[in-house]
Structure 1
């Protein structure tokens, strides 16, 4: 049977190739270069050496299976880390695994739930298949070495010697070390990030407890804003790239300039600057908590830690000083535990009680203009007591489609006016076929969200209205570019110009559009500066 040795040799070659190539995948993902494959993986050498020392086949199968699972785990960690860096400009901390669920939600909204589930199933199948392939490859090569002891041992010893010498003298191919431990490095990096995260959490708890504002009497809080309705509006993905240095910035700038002029004609004053957000491309609640607490919350584990403390938030300050406090998150379909236990909001507006009867617009089910109209009708009606609120505008959330259209303020009603708009607009799958169409859709979404805010300001008859409007983070790199920073625009808008006098020392720029020379603050400094400016003078 002459074909048997040939098939045996073929399977051996394939097994060797798998052991050489697959463990190098994490390094290639990390470097983003194919030169990462021109290396010798130490993981494969080690598993073959261990297998050679084991006389029992069940033990060899167990070791080979562990090897396959470890390499696949390293590949997945490296791939997720690469995705985090590309989309969010941060490293992946395994303690932030909750974000994988959020990522799945975004894929579902962009491509549809069936497609998202199919992707997950495919990844799981590929992972299981790759682990099995590596285990089989290790056992196949070990069998070959046992069958040809002298030649096999010599080959394994020779490759191991090359790896050791290369590691010692730093031999490289096109600036890439020949001696590789890519899978081990990926797992080690994940462990180091998790360890650093744990240390950061302990430090954050100490910072949360050291807070003089938590001990301030109510009479000393926000004295310059007494009697005002103060609304903090986060505009989803409203980053610096929306107004500066991009193909879609001119359209957004035109809306901001026209809005500044229209508001000034109605007696509004506004000043703007930049803030550096702790997050990028997503995880909006990190920005919200950073602004509220005056602490730098840049990971999910940091957020989980801070909401377990008694840190004094902006909403706490307003509540303590006598304001009604409201959270308005239109996407929420159930109780928000952190809103009750940490932010201590007095009431909540969300998808359950906003009265919306219109069609769904994908991820941002309820149009921003409706969110603001419903808030105004419920919370700013004639004779109301002063209110402080945080409102999240979500129509500019990924995937930026389908997008609502602005309607006359008095025609919004229960949202039925939007019937038919989702079907008539661009669909996510079509938008996400090309980079330029994604960027165009993003620019249009920001124009809509800003336009919704302007519609609110122009139609609400409230002489005591004060709005702090800002972005939560930059859009992902596919929109903002790989060199984008973490800056977002921030504006304070007031019907009473006297409101802006306490912040004259901030040197913000007049209008809704900050220029390149406008001040840039880290978002965590805002709480203390805001409380100081509007406290006792």
Structure 2
């Protein structure tokens, strides 16, 4: 029994020492490596008296547990956000993850999952701490054999390192834990340094001092709408499983818009985020700054750096409004984005069911926008920012398009929601996730283009784009960060202004269409439509 417990302790500690930080990095060979940290730990345990040995072993076990938690967080973040967990910035996102689970699977399931995670973390700390202490005492108790064993394993580790020996492409010698500690330390230092440097970058603005009468002069009189479609990424158009249905929808919608007198040009933007954190994509596009973490976002939101939407407000030539069905609490960002009025999830009159995370179908949000703002007579044209959420994960249930005249207060969507797929049936199934994701993009794009056909005028200008790619389970572990962007208008002069961009005709950007970073869009758009740069320096 005692031997068995010791073996289990050794397996736990060695497994934690060599644990990768990505799901794709996990494989049997990753767990049969020689961890150099274990050799050093054994050597230290051999020379320390009992009390210091016990204290140091306990501290080492707790530290190893903490590092294991960070490795597991890295795995989750790589799968859902395409990046590592940031020890400084990302703790607040765990609350968002819990809210997402509650919206997708229900409060009971979310509470159970949260409780399960807490118990597992506490258990991990307890087991690794106790295992490390037991192994340290075992080494001290059998000093002679432990010394010979440590020397033998140490020589093997040095030999494997020196000759680069591998099995199935995996190095036999491992310093995974030491490297992980170094990476985490460097990441913290880089984050703190980036925060200070970015404040200076955000203070500089090529259009920061442009007078109101020199902003967007070539769009005066136009109703301009900026629409972000949740998770509308390059994979929707190019993935062999997802693309056929989406391409068919884009082709049909391009033809329907042309019949209604509208024409489009499309290109690609590289998003500042992936899989989630949509607000980073929105703000990068509209601010002209690369906002790829929460600290940068907070810095910009507290600044007077000119957003593209605020340029319309600053000009004095437009009323400005936001339609944000995904916002369910206070949204102080309204000031930064220069929106005179914002409709959140509770201010659009919706009486139907939620569709998992999405508070209402996109078709309803667009019709509510029409009835409350776009369809009203006004003294100024309207600039709008609209966030469409029906294509948000877990892509179940996906709404269906209904007769626009029957939308009403949204109650008719109850039967559609009840007949749709359940989130729990889709979340863990990669094939179904990809299929339902494709359907959700088809729905969102078609709802938007139908709205434009129905309510657009000679003076309507629509810019719509994705905020980021879907998660790795759908887009793959090596997907690009690119998203499609389209500009649609009836007035040929509007599209003539961007002829030099070399975008593709229609709603589907060609594979070799230009690719810009999201942060490049604001200045290109302002310049194309008559804005005169008057820089504000840092």
Q: Given the two structures, how large is their TM-score scaled by the length of structure 1?
A: 0.92
Q: Deviations over 1:153-173 (max 9, x none)?
A: 333344344434544554444
Q: Say if 1:328 and 1:390, in contact at 8 Å, map to a contact too.
A: yes
Look up the match of 1:141. 135
Look up the match of 1:119. 113
Give 1:461 shift.
5.1
Unaligned runs of 5+ in 2: 533-538
Q: Say if 2:247 and 2:508, in contact at 8 Å, map to a contact too.
A: yes
Secondary structure at 1:332 match in 2: coil
Unaligned runs of 5+ in 1: 1-6
CA-atom RMSD, angstroms? 2.3
Q: d(CA) in 2 for partners of 1:54 and 1:205?
A: 48
Match of 1:183 among 177, 182, 192: 177
Q: Say if 1:26 and 1:183, in contact at 8 Å, map to a contact too.
A: no
| Of 287-296 and 102-111, the range deviating more from structure 2 | 102-111
Look up the match of 1:82. 75
Look up the match of 1:512. 507
Q: 1:419 to 1:506 in 2, by over 3 A?
A: same
Look up the match of 1:9. 3
Q: d(CA) in 1 for partners of 2:519 and 2:250?
A: 25
Q: d(CA) in 1 for partners of 2:5 and 2:352?
A: 61
Query: Are positions 1:466 and 2:466 aligned together?
Result: no
| Of 151-160 and 165-174, the range deviating more from structure 2 | 165-174
Q: d(CA) in 2 for partners of 1:39 and 1:31?
A: 14
Look up the match of 2:292. 298
Q: 1:206 to 1:154 in 2, by over 3 A?
A: same
Match of 1:501 among 481, 496, 500: 496
Match of 1:456 among 442, 446, 451: 451
Query: Are positions 1:105 and 2:99 aligned together?
Result: yes
| Of 241-250 and 483-492, the range deviating more from structure 2 | 241-250
- Describe how 1:243-392 pairs up with structure 2 within 5 A: 243-322=237-316, 323-340=318-335, 342-384=336-378, 385-392=380-387
Look up the match of 2:64. 71
Look up the match of 2:476. 481
Match of 1:440 among 424, 435, 438: 435
Q: 1:154 to 1:277 in 2, by over 3 A?
A: same
Secondary structure at 1:215 match in 2: coil
Q: d(CA) in 1 for partners of 2:12 and 2:428?
A: 33
Secondary structure at 1:274 match in 2: strand
Give 1:314 shift.
0.6
Q: Say if 1:41 and 1:179, in contact at 8 Å, map to a contact too.
A: yes
| Of 72-81 and 230-239, the range deviating more from structure 2 | 72-81
Q: d(CA) in 1 for partners of 2:512 and 2:21?
A: 41
Query: Are positions 1:21 and 2:15 aligned together?
Result: yes
Q: Say if 1:243 and 1:252, in contact at 8 Å, map to a contact too.
A: yes
Secondary structure at 1:66 match in 2: helix
Q: Deviations over 1:507-537 (max 9, x none)?
A: 2222212222322222111100100010159
Q: Say if 1:331 and 1:351, in contact at 8 Å, map to a contact too.
A: yes
Q: Say if 2:23 and 2:79, in contact at 8 Å, map to a contact too.
A: no
Secondary structure at 2:328 match in 1: coil
Q: d(CA) in 1 for partners of 2:148 and 2:321?
A: 73
Look up the match of 1:534. 529
Q: d(CA) in 2 for partners of 1:149 and 1:243?
A: 64
Q: 1:119 to 1:321 in 2, by over 3 A?
A: same
Q: d(CA) in 1 for partners of 2:48 and 2:42?
A: 10
Q: Deviations over 1:462-501 (max 9, x none)?
A: 3321110111111112212233211111111113222222
Give 1:27 shift.
6.4
Secondary structure at 1:213 match in 2: coil
Q: 1:416 to 1:112 in 2, by over 3 A?
A: closer
Look up the match of 1:230. 224
Q: d(CA) in 2 for partners of 1:29 and 1:382?
A: 52
Q: Deviations over 1:196-241 (max 9, x none)?
A: 2223333322222221201011111000111111110001111122
Q: d(CA) in 2 for partners of 1:61 and 1:376?
A: 69
Q: Say if 2:269 and 2:483, in contact at 8 Å, map to a contact too.
A: yes
Q: d(CA) in 1 for partners of 2:329 and 2:59?
A: 42
Look up the match of 1:91. 84
Q: d(CA) in 2 for partners of 1:28 and 1:267?
A: 49
Look up the match of 2:536. none
Give 1:330 shift.
0.5
Q: Say if 1:77 and 1:187, in contact at 8 Å, map to a contact too.
A: no
Q: Given the two structures, how large is their TM-score scaled by the length of structure 2?
A: 0.92
Q: Say if 1:409 and 1:459, in contact at 8 Å, map to a contact too.
A: no
Look up the match of 2:215. 221
Look up the match of 1:394. 389
Q: d(CA) in 2 for partners of 1:141 and 1:520?
A: 55
Q: Deviations over 1:2-35 (max 9, x none)?
A: xxxxx33333333333333332224686833322
Q: Say if 2:229 and 2:391, in contact at 8 Å, map to a contact too.
A: yes
Q: d(CA) in 1 for partners of 2:33 and 2:419?
A: 53
Q: Say if 2:22 and 2:74, in contact at 8 Å, map to a contact too.
A: no
Q: Say if 2:45 and 2:137, in contact at 8 Å, map to a contact too.
A: no
Q: Say if 2:397 and 2:422, in contact at 8 Å, map to a contact too.
A: yes
